[in-house]
Every structure is written in C-alpha cells, then in structure tokens.
Chains A and B, each alone.
Chain A
Amino acid sequence: MPSWPVLISQAFNGLALGTLLALVSSGLTIILGTLGVLNFAHGALFAVGAYAAFVLLQYTSSFVLAIVVGCGFMLVLGFLLERIIIRYFYDRPHEDQILVTYGVGIVLVECVRAAFGGNAQRVPVPSWGQGATQMGFLIYPTYRLQLIAIIAGLLLSLYLVLYRTSMGLVVRAGIENPGMVGILGINVRRAFLLVFAIGVVAVGLAGMLYAPVVAVTPDMGANFMAQSFVVIVLGGLGSFPGAVIGGLIAGEIISLTSAFNSSYSEVMLYALMAVLLIMRPQGLFGSEGRA
C-alpha cells in the first residue's frame, strides 16, 4: 500500500493530467458533437499545433505571442480543410468521413516530417513557467501548475461559445434539422465552417501548450488520439462536459494506478472504458441515438 503523501501527490497529478486530456479531447468532441464527423486527423492536428509553436517561437521569441499567432494559423488551416474537403463529407456515411480524415492526418504528418525531419524538436518551457514549485511534500513543475489554470479558462470559454451564444444554438439546431434552419434564413454552412475551425484551433492549442512538456515529433499525436477517444467514450460521444469529466476521470485512473504499479495504468484506463461500455454504452454524459 503506498503512503498517503504518494496517493495525494498522484491524485493531484491526476487532476493536472486530466485537464490536459480534457483539452486534447475537446476539439474532437466539438466536431463530433456538432457536425457528426469523427475526425481522425485529430492527432495530426495536435502535432501541427506543436510544430506551429516551435516555428513561431523562433520568430517571435515570446511564448504567448507564438500561441496567439499559432491559433490564427490553426484557424486558417481549419477553414481550408473544411472548405476544400470536409464539407463534402457531412452527408456521407461515417466510414467515408473516417477514411478522409484519416487520410488528411497522414498527409499532414508526412508534410511535417518532410519539413522538419523525424527527430524531436525542442520547445523550451516559457521563462515564466520554469522550475518546480514545492507545495508541502509535493514538488510539481511550475509550468504544469499554470497549465491547469490556463486550460480551465480555455475550456470554460469554449463551453460558453458553444452553449451560451446564438452561434452555438444555430449550430446545434442546424445539426438536427438543416432544412428548417435554412428556411429561417440562417446560413448553417457558415456556422459549420466556424465550428470545424474552432475544433481545429482547440486541438492545435492543446499541441502548442503541451509542446514544452512532450517530445515534439511528427508522430506525437498518435498516442493522444487514442487517449482522446477513450476520454470521449467515457464522457459520452459528442458531449462537451463529458469530455471534461472524462478527461479528469482518465487522468485520475492513470495517476492513481501508478501509485500502485505504473505498468497497469493504461490497462486500467481501457478496462474502465470496457466496463463503462457494457454498463452505460452512451457514456456518462452522452444521450442515446444521435452522436
């Protein structure tokens, strides 16, 4: 049995890990929940975000500025992807959507590899986040502590945009009945475009914020994509609050299992997902039927 300080440390780490997973998953769940498209380019877009931070940091030498410009870049990328490819797939079967987004992901990753090579790139922790903070018996990296607050703020604003603005309402109504929304004189397609782009920015932003923590390589997104799927299955496919809660649960499972034996941490995550799928197939916050 691990000591209490170890358990408390891991519980705290689970919270930090959970917020990160929530942000990574949010982009996936926004696009799925509103547009009904399962975006398999999610992991690749995460990597593109991290590389955007890497490049922009060299030009701007300010982490905040790099992230702001990077978000602009991801927004444009999202617009282009939606206009050129994705919009033709809204009415196609899920298999087609999966294939096309998977293909987009491969193209993006290989473009990154062609431009930067396969070796890891270095994105330093910003000057204001360096070092570790001692909190009682717990030592924790300062940047990760700041990330918890930053991500909480980001998730809250995303929620407000999607669920408390008229644009969010249009999007959700448009999914249910595009014909009716069109008759009401609302341009649904434009709202769809915006939602896709916001989803791309969210995952790109996660990549940018995470870049100083992980190894920035073209394939860095693969593992996150797998974990994001677990998170949104836990929380309920397409549910934004579900992604947040799912992320936190996943973070706690990984971390608390590590207090006992780290080799079982991911096994426990998938085991939990399996149990949940049997007990409550729609996930914690999901509704039965459309996803």
Chain B
Amino acid sequence: MQFDRRQLLLGGVGTAAGLMLPGSAFAQSPATIGTFPEGVTADSVFVGLTIPLTGVFSGDGGDLKLGYELAIAQINAGGDIAQKWGLKGKGVLGRQIKYKVSDTEGKPNLDVQSATQFIQRDKAIMVSGSVSSASAIALEELGSREKVLYMVGIAGSNDITGKNCQRYGFRSQQNAYMAAKAMAPVVAKALGKNVKSAFLVPDYTYGHTVYDSFAKFSAEQGWKQVAKEVVPLGTTDYSSALLNIANSGADVFVNIAFGGDAVASTKQAEQFGVLKRMKLVVPNLSSFQDKELGAELMQGVYGSCDFWWGLQDTYPLAKTFVESFVAQNKYYPRWGAHIGYMQTYLWAMSVERAGTFNPVDVIKAMESSKVQPYETTIGKVYFRAEDHQMVRPIPILRGKKPSEMKNKEDFYEIVDIADGESVMNAPDFFGCKLGPYT
C-alpha cells in the first residue's frame, strides 16, 4: 500500500485533532512529566538554584542566594512565618526542600549546564536563579523543554514575559515597561514636565528595552531627549560618552547602566560635573548601587526597583522578611534577596494550592491566581495567565540626604507605590506566545 505525502499529512492532522479533543474537554495532567513524580520522594523534593556567585553579577547573586536560603529554611521549619504565608505543616506538602546552589558566573551556557545537571542527576522538581536577562531566557527555554518549572530570578528585560515567554517560566519582578510607566509620572511631577533628558544606554537587551520604555513614557510627560549615548556592556571609562552628555544641555541624566557599570558611570558623571547640573534618574536601581556609590551621590536620585526594605512599614509579610533576614545576615536585604525569597514562597504556595508537585497543575494554579491572589511581602499579587508576568505594585524611590538617614543603610525614601494593574502592557504587546503544557 502506498500513501502520498498529502494523504499522510491529512491523516496526521486528523489523528492529532482527534487526540486533542478529549484532551481539551477533560483537562487532565499527565501522570508522569518532567521530573514528576520521580523527583518527589516520601519526605523530600529537590530544588536547583543557578546563581552567579563569581563574575560581574556576584554581588547581586550573593544577595539572591541568601533570599532563597532564608525562605527554604522557613518553609522547612514550618514555623509562624511560613504559616503567615498560608503554608501548612513543615515543608511543602509535607516534603522538606533539599537544594543545591551552582555558581554559574552569570554565563547563560553555565546556567543551562548546571540546570540540566540538577534536572537529570538530582531530579529537580523546580529550578530558580539568574541575575541577567540572558540567563533567564536560556533557563526558561530549558525548563519548557524539560517540563520542569523555572521561577525567574533577577531579570528586567521585557522579552522574558514577552517574545521569549515560556509556559514553564514565571517572573515576579516588574518588566522594564511597567517600571518606566510607573516612574515617568512620578519623576515628571517632581522634576517638571518641560525637561530635556540625556540617556546613557548599555548596549544589550536589558539596556535597549529599558531605554525604549522609559523614553516612551517620559516623552508622554513632555520630556525632550537631547542626547542618547549607547555604550558597550562592561565599559570602564565613560569619559567620551559623558562629555557629550555634559555638553548636551540636558536637565535630567537618565542612567540605564546596571550593576558595576552603574557605579562606574555615575561616579564618573559626578567627576565631570554632570550631577551638579542635572538630576539623576535611574529607571532600575541596581541592588547595591546605594552602598557602592554612597548617599552623597545618591541623594535626590529617583529610581525604581523590585523591593526596598522600607516597604516593611506597608506590608506585614515584608516586615517579617526584613526582620528575619537582618537577624540572619546582619544587613538589610536588597531586592535580589527579595526575589529569591518571594519566588520560593510563591512556588510553595502554588504547590499546596494544586495539592501536587505535578508541574502542569502547579502552572495552572499560578495561572489562575488572579481569582485567588497571593498575599505576599508586596501585598496582593498574581501571575497573568497570558504571559506569566506578575501584576504587582512598584515602589518608586528617592535617595535620602546623608543627614536624613536613620541608619547606615537607610538610603531611600519611598515616594510612591504604583498600582500594578495600571502600568501593565497588554499581554501580547511584546509578542508573548506561551508554549504547550505537555
């Protein structure tokens, strides 16, 4: 018997359609998928953490790691704090969380390598980590391929819940669009509407998406761009770009550089007299930028980030987080630690809501969190079903004068907490198409 190709294709499509019908009519999760149920023993589950502990992101990575560890210890102990988050008993569904941390140096290939090891060798039921958007994109793709849940670490690019979004990836940090939309009206109110702005843009996905978003929303506030200096990632001497900015006649200097680059460029901007003549705005503040630059430079600077410890006055769970973190680690957590902490709790809560570690059910529990929002360190939040971006409030900060600081880490005051719902992009705005569950 001979088939021609057309018949074969038609037959295939028909069979596939037939198979899909009962699937969508009676949605049922497969009994085995990814590392489930192999990775769930009677008393424990394994979580793999891919974190840069060396390399350029090691500062943020160290903070992130402490956040994960604090949450895991609290969840395993099953004390008051875990109960406040709504978890029952010790561990997650009675299982202790075991974990390993792999130093990925901030290099996406090492992220993928160690995550693969966690999945294949340790049967990780969940993977989390990353301090760069490039790593997060690689890891969420791996998660979707291996059908293992990936909770995004630090990563601000629009692409993660945009064109690179994945069924198995969930992000709690606001994207660049949300941050810019939340911030623009606040800074325009403080610094004026008729303002000339100069941008310093690091030349990679993060830099460009933050620039696009902030330029768009500041223009809506009447700001006029007079300079845009694009510099390579990891530049050490910004003098030539800063000379152009210094001569641009701008009123506001919008510095998008991140991490060590933010420190170097801001330090040099001050030396070029830029900060005397211009107000500094930082759409996404780096975790330790405050401490690294000092309050003298950071005073009056406007910025936004995932979390600031001052939020403990607003949200009860933030208070328990900050207090337990300080008791353990002797410094105030930055937003890296907060992301690790919150993502771990969100996963644990979703597993308990689903009543199983089966990733498909856990994903569905997270996707339906809009009707049953999570009570967290930043109040009530939920993951959008369409792109897995968290809808969440965004704190807008302003650097305090050294004389206003109540302790040596009291760098910012919270000038506004933007409502998450009002700053969201449409779910398909950045081209997100989530893949299949199975």
Contacts and interface: CB of A to CB of B under 8 A. Distances in A.
B259 to A, nearest CB: 8
A126 interface: no
B54 A215 contact: no
A119 B267 contact: no
Contact of A266 (B232, B243, B293): B232
B135 to A, nearest CB: 16
Q: Kindly list the 8 A-B residue pairs having the minimum CB-CB distance in the complex, ordered from nearest.
A: A118-B58, A258-B240, A263-B230, A119-B59, A215-B264, A141-B271, A215-B263, A132-B273
B239 A113 contact: no
A125 B264 contact: no
Contact of A213 (B234, B241, B271): B271
A125 B271 contact: yes
Contact of B243 (A13, A121, A125): A13
Contacts of B56: 217, 219
Interface stretch (A3-11, A171-179, A183-191): A3-11
A147 to B, nearest CB: 11
B120 interface: no
A110 interface: yes
A20 B291 contact: no
A269 to B, nearest CB: 10
A117 interface: yes
Contacts of A20: 237
A17 B235 CA distance: 13
Contact of A120 (B229, B239, B260, B271): B260
Contact of B267 (A16, A139, A215): A215
Contacts of A259: 240, 244
A258 B292 contact: no
Interface string B52-90: 011111110110000000000000000000000000000
Contacts of B261: 215
B237 A17 contact: yes
B217 interface: no
A230 to B, nearest CB: 13
Chain A interface SS verdict (over half)? helix
Interface in B240-271: 240-241, 243-244, 246-247, 260-261, 263-264, 267-268, 271
B240 A222 contact: no
B101 interface: no
B419 to A, nearest CB: 32
B260 A139 contact: no
Contacts, number: 119
Given A117-B59, A220-B260, A214 B239 contact: no
B240 A120 contact: no
Nearest to B227: A262
Given A255-B239, A263-B203, 11 more contacts: A6-B247, A9-B243, A113-B58, A117-B59, A118-B55, A119-B288, A120-B264, A121-B292, A139-B273, A144-B239, A217-B260
A95 B241 CA distance: 38
B294 interface: yes
Interface in A53-111: 110
A213 B267 contact: yes
A5 B272 contact: no
Contacts of B267: 213-215
Contacts of B288: 119-120
B29 interface: no
B260 A219 contact: yes
